[in-house]
Structure 1
Amino acid sequence: MFNTRISLLALALFGATQAQANDQANSAGFVEDSHAKVLLRNAYINRDKKHGSSDQAEWGQAFIGTFSSGFTQGTVGVGVDAFGLYALRLDGGRGRNGGAGIDFFKPSEDGSGRSPHNLARGGAAVKFRVSNTVLKYGDQMPSLPVLQHDDARLLPESFTGTLITSKEIEGLEVNAGHFTQEARKSMEGRDSGGLKSIDVLGGTYHFNDRLTGSLYTSQVEDVLRKHYLGLNYVHPLADDQSLTLDFNGYKSDINNRYVNAAGLTGDRNTIWSLAATWAFGPHALTLAHQRSTGSTGYNYGWYQNRGGVGDGGSSIYLANSYWSDFNAEDERSWQVAYDLNFAELGVPGLTYKVAYVRGDNINTHGFGEGKEREIFNQVRYVVQEGPAKDLSVKLRSSILRTSESVRQNGYNDDGNEVRVFVEYPISIF
């Protein structure tokens, strides 16, 4: 039934009355609009666990190449997108590799604990455009609130399937998709995640320059159905001041078979966050509250053949998600954060952020009220000019502390995390 609705939506979008300029009519051609890029990414993550859990650390060098063609001219434009990924292990020693939170190189399953020295993966998708609607089939990296590929590690995840993106109505973007394979970021092969299927449907509408709303739904076969609502409002206060209100929320209805297989405590969850950011000059101050209710915590990401949901490792558009996601059963969390852009202080390209998040009321099922807190720091610098223009260096750290009840329950553990990412984008043409 869900696939039928997607097919009907595609027909409706392709036949929609044009409400703005026709992108396909303005096509310059397959070759003329083509672009190729390579991203060099050197990434290191270290997690120092404090209560018996094994420390984790991995370091690698990635080469991420992407190609996007233009569309052929005519009523129906045809094009191709492709990517090639290669990763070289620099450090991923036995005993510290294979952690779910890092997952640069998946260790072999022969009991040796060794990670591969390198891995390579590629993919391609064919795309068709009519007016302002694009249908793409093949290997893709979707970026939707209910299906967001993880690109926060060494290599990105990817999915194989069909995605329709329509912008026929000015200010409105509609997405509908059906995916049947997921490529794990730490392995070769396009179906290493074991995804059965996931259907997604929704859209984002810009009401005006200040207000944007998003509404999405997804259905992961034999796992769950998920709904998302997002609202963002920017209110100018003065020439160099503004107040931004950002609301994000998910409601999940979980399949009982998955509840039993994953050892969950229930089959329902509702989680939401509301953040208010006051920006003034180079400064920004954020206050946020996040709340999880239902009979289990918020579930997302990881891989179905490892007991995960399979909807992408970044499908959590919530304010209080750093190292901990503060998404446990019945958890309430508060955040205060400060951002500083050094451009107005004479150092363009340099930014800094610090945040403190505290969560409580975690249902640990017999171990007492659970609590956790995290201090997050991040400094990032992007080279502004010269041969190394656009080279970026990002240093990030988190200090996570939990109550004994949380550790006994197995939800989380104390630890210190350090991340170092150096990225250099190269435009080939």
Structure 2
Amino acid sequence: MHSRSQPVTACWPAAQWQKAKGLFIEGASATLYNRTVYFNRDFRNGRDNNGIGKREESATSLLMNFESGFTQGPIGFGADVIASMGIKLDSGRGRSGTGLLPVDGNNDADDEYSEIRGAVKMAILDDTVLRYGVHMPENPVAAYDDARLLPSHYQGYSITNQSIDGLFVEAGRLTDRSEMNQPNETDGAITDGDDLTYLGGTYTFTDNLSVTLYGAEAEDFYDRYFVGADWTMPLGDDLSLNTNFAYYDTSDENSSDGEEVDNQAASLAFTLGAGNHAFGVAYQEMNGDAGYYYTDGDIFLANSIQYLDFNGKDEKSYQARYDYDFAGMGIPGLSFMTRYIKGDDIDVAPGLSDSRWERDSELKYTVQNGTLEGLNIRWRNATVRQNVGTSTNGRGVNGDVDENRLIVGYTWNLL
């Protein structure tokens, strides 16, 4: 946001320029985030499959994020900068390919990679912001991916508006993308040359109820629509029931990419919160001529989890989940989660269906005070069992997997 004052003139005296410069910095924020990751994915096939029975690497990164304030006036200007660096700690031929680091033609991981991106922005009457440059969108039809060492991002332009109380609306066009482990951008937001245009928003009726609607067009590829709702119903002291519904409809837009993408995907999840405990169940279903097609980022579906998304053609999946906050035992900052998902009726060939399952466990701790306040440590474990040859949108899967990730992160507030 920016302060309203006299309109911006074509030529400012030095005093006015210094005042505007002060507002530019006054509303700014800058953080430096360090993330260190150990990643181990065991394909349960020993030394078979040309010696790539597992992938195992560790790396550390720095991510600096600067967001300016806006200059003075009904139309304010600002700029943002993102700078990042990833550094190899341990890797090796036959173990690379975790997605933490770039690899060369010999599948050797690079020692380091880095990039710097920026964006210019303009605020109009405090409630509308136009932006051109780097984007890290977080909506159901366009989302960046932050599942490895450094986040992916896009280039493009967008507009957001919050002039109506409770309503957030945005529209944008993404033209280029940079993968999580690649410093160079690729032409096109989805596949080579395919830009992505999106429009949508969320209306928050109350603190407990919101509805989300979005639409997107991947140029010469697909059209996609999303409807979602989230409702939390208080049931008593420290007792509540959350209901989450999500639905995607994806259709072919005269695709020149040779992909079959027609799909309808839906999920319904219920979570009972009882003090420091949470018990959840979810159902997810795929219909149409293909599984759900996606590229980067999260799918806003209940059973899109650590390794699998349970998005195969005609797949139906069921989840049971349990969470516990150890603040109830006098250890604030420590939490635990475990879940089990079973997928059935995957159409892998005419007249042939298959099934698979995944079990996840996660333990997180954030230091609450002292010198290391804010330091967070996260252990993620996944066990996957499925038949080799199952395919989702042409993506071959790797059969059985045992996976462990250890993630340590810390943020310094610079401004």
TM-score normalised to structure 1 length: 0.86
Q: Which one has a larger percent strand, Structure 1 or Structure 2?
A: 2
Residue identity matched to 1:281: G
Counterparts of 1:96-245 in structure 2, within 5 Å, are 96-98=95-97, 102-109=98-105, 112-131=106-125, 132-191=127-186, 194-245=192-243
Cα distance, 1:352–1:259 mapped onto 2, change above 3 Å: same
Query: What one-letter code is carried by the residue in structure 2 that aligns with 1:25?
Result: R
- Residue number among 275, 279, 282 corresponding to 1:281 in the alignment: 275
Q: CA deviation at 1:173?
A: 0.4
Structure 2 CA distance for aligned equivalents of residues 367 and 93 of structure 1: 42
- The structural deviation recorded for 1:211 is 1.1
C-alpha distance in structure 2 between counterparts of 1:92 and 1:270, whole Å: 40
CA shift at 1:361, angstroms?
0.5
**Separation of aligned partners in 2, 1:186 and 1:411:** 20
Asked whether the 8 Å contact 2:91–2:109 carries over to 1, the reply is yes
CA contact (8 A) 1:286 1:338 kept: yes
Give the letter for the 2:73 counterpart.
Answer: G
State the SS of the aligned residue for 1:199: strand
* Counterpart-to-counterpart distance in 2, 1:192 and 1:396: 33
Measure, in 1, the Cα distance between the counterparts of 2:203 and 2:371: 39
1:31 to 25, 36, 41: 25
Number of paired residues? 388
Q: Choose which of 37, 42, 64 in structure 2 pairs with 1:43.
A: 37
- DSSP-derived class of the 2:327 partner: helix
> How far, CA to CA, are the matches of 1:25 and 1:279 in structure 2?
44
Structure 1 unaligned segments of length 5 or more: list them: 1-21, 302-312
Aligned-residue RMSD, C-alpha: 2.1
Query: How far off its partner does 1:85 sit?
Result: 0.3
Tell me the secondary structure at the aligned position of residue 25 of structure 1. Answer: coil
Query: 2:9 is matched with which residue?
Result: none
User: Deviation at 1:57?
Assistant: 2.1
2:414 matched residue in structure 1: 428
Spell out the pairing of 1:11-90 with structure 2 (5 A cutoff): 24-25=3-4, 29-51=23-45, 52=48, 54=52, 55-90=54-89
In the alignment, which residue of structure 1 is the partner of 2:11?
none
Comparing 204-213 and 286-295, the one that deviates more = 204-213
Which runs of no fewer than 5 residues in structure 2 stay unpaired?
Answer: 6-19
Pick aligned residue for 1:414 from 389, 400, 404: 400
TM-score in terms of structure 2 length: 0.89
Q: Distance in 2 between matches of 1:103 and 1:341?
A: 31
Deviation, 1:412, is: 5.0
Letter in 1 for 2:287: T
User: Is the aligned partner of 1:359 residue 2:343?
Assistant: yes
Contact 1:326 1:333 in 2 (8 A): yes
Asked if structure 1 preserves the Cα contact closer than 8 Å seen for 2:228 and 2:247, the reply is: yes
Aligned partner letter, 1:418: N
Given that residues 176 and 202 in structure 1 are in contact (C-alpha distance below 8 angstroms), is that contact kept between their aligned partners in structure 2?
Answer: yes
Paired AA for residue 246 in structure 1: N
- State whether residues 254 and 267 of structure 1, in contact with CA within 8 Å, keep that contact through their aligned partners in structure 2: yes
**Letter matched to residue 35 of structure 1:** S
| Alignment correspondent of 1:342 | 326
User: In 1, distance between residues paired with 2:3 and 2:292?
Assistant: 41
* Paired residue secondary structure (1:344): helix
* SS of residue paired to 1:343: helix
**Secondary structure of 2:341's match?**
strand
Partners of 2:347 and 2:111 in 1: CA distance: 42
Shift of 1:222: 2.5
Identical residues among aligned pairs (%): 34
Report the counterpart of residue 308 of structure 2 in structure 1.
324
Question: Offset of 1:144 from its aligned partner?
Answer: 1.3
Find the aligned partners of 1:38 and 1:365 in 2 and give their Cα distance: 49
Taking a change above 3 Å as real, the CA distance of residues 81 and 39 of structure 1, as seen in their structure-2 partners, is same
Structure 1 match to 2:365: 381
In structure 2, C-alpha distance between the alignment counterparts of 1:411 and 1:395, rounded to whole Å: 24
- 1:258–1:417 CA distance, 2 compared to 1 (3 A): farther
> C-alpha distance in 1, partners of 2:193/2:82?
20
Residue of structure 2 equivalent to 1:12: none
* DSSP-derived class of the 1:115 partner: coil
Give distance in 2, aligned partners of 1:159 and 1:411.
Answer: 27
The 3 A distance-change label for structure 1 pair 25 and 188 is same
AA aligned to 2:270 is: A
Alpha-carbon contact 2:366-2:375 (below 8 Å) kept: yes
Contact 2:178 2:185 in 1 (8 A): yes
**Deviation digits for residues 143-173 of structure 1 (CA, Å, limit 9, x no counterpart):** 1111110012101111111011110100000
Q: Measure the CA separation in 2 of the matches of 1:203 and 1:154.
A: 29
Tell me by how many angstroms 1:257 deviates. Answer: 3.8
| More off after superposition, 183-192 vs 70-79 | 183-192
Q: How does 1:237-316 map to 2 (within 5 A)?
A: 237-255=235-253, 257-258=255-256, 260=258, 262=259, 266-301=260-295, 313-316=296-299
Q: Which residue of 2 aligns with 1:19?
A: none
* Shift in CA distance, 407/259, structure 1 to aligned 2, threshold 3 Å: closer
CA contact (8 A) 1:58 1:97 kept: yes
Q: Cα gap change, 1:195/1:145 in structure 2, threshold over 3 Å: closer, same or farther?
A: farther
2-side partners of 1:366 and 1:174: how far apart?
43
Q: 1:183·1:192 contact (CA, 8 Å) conserved in 2? A: no
In the other structure, the counterpart of 1:17 is: none
Deviations 1:232-259 (A, max 9, x none): 0010001211000011121111345456
Task: Give the Cα separation in 2 of the matches to 1:395 and 1:157.
Answer: 22
